[in-house]
Structures are given as structure tokens and as C-alpha cells.
Amino acid sequence: MMLAADDAIPKKKVNSTNKYRIHWWDDDIAESVQARRIAFSLYCSNPTFENYMEARQKRAETKNLIRYKKKKNHAKASVKTSLLPAFTEREKLLKNFQLTLPLASRIRPINAV
């Protein structure tokens, strides 16, 4: 029975990676990265000035596209967080409590070396 279970249920996931999904990555970036890799491999196999300029152009396009997508996604995320309330009730109470403490209790001691 254990042999049948070992055959039916794999112990490892096939083609799994330990990488996190990047929320701003999309098909446009994947295509641009693939084109950049192809251009660079072509330059490495045949190092001419034209291939060098093509590889640099693809590198710059990919870099700018990634920067644009990150900024665009960051702008969307910042709009979402700006709509959230600034403080929860617990944070407000904690802040008020800390302000009512004497100043000496709020100062942290400096660790002597």
C-alpha cells in the first residue's frame, strides 16, 4: 500500500520554485526580458557593433519598462492605503497613553559600551 501511495502522490512539487510572485510583473515585462536575453546572447555569440547596440537598446527598454510598471503599481497601492483610516482605535488609545506618561519614562537609556 505504501508503494502505491508513493507512486500516486509525489513527495516534491514538480517545477516549483521558492520565489515569491511579483505583483507588478506581467506579460509585457516577460516578453521584454526574453527579447533582452536573446539580444545579449546574439551579441555574445557574434560580437559586432550592431549587435552590441541592439543589446544595449533592449537592456534600456526593459529597464525603463520595469521602472514604469513599478511606479505605476506603487501609485495604485499608495492610493489604496490613503483611503484607509489613519489610526485604529487601539493605536489612538496607545498614543494618548504614551503622551500622558512622564517624560523620564519615555526616554530610553543609552547602552554603555
**Helix 27-45 and helix 49-82: axis angle, to 10°?**
160
On whether the CB atoms of residues 76 and 40 are closer than 8 A, the answer is: no
User: Average of pLDDT values for 77-89?
Assistant: 60
Query: How much is the pTM?
Result: 0.55
pLDDT at 93 over 60: yes
pLDDT digits (tens, 9 = 90+) for 69-80: 998 888 777 666
Q: What is the mean pLDDT of residues 40-63?
A: 97
DSSP the chain: -HHHHHHHS-SS-TT--SPPPPTT--HHHHHHHHHHHHHHHHHHHS--HHHHHHHHHHHHHHHHHHHHHHHHHHHHHHHHHHTS-S--HHHHHHHHHHHHS-HHHHSPPPPP-
Ranges of each domain in the chain: 24-100
pLDDT at position 74, please?
Answer: 81
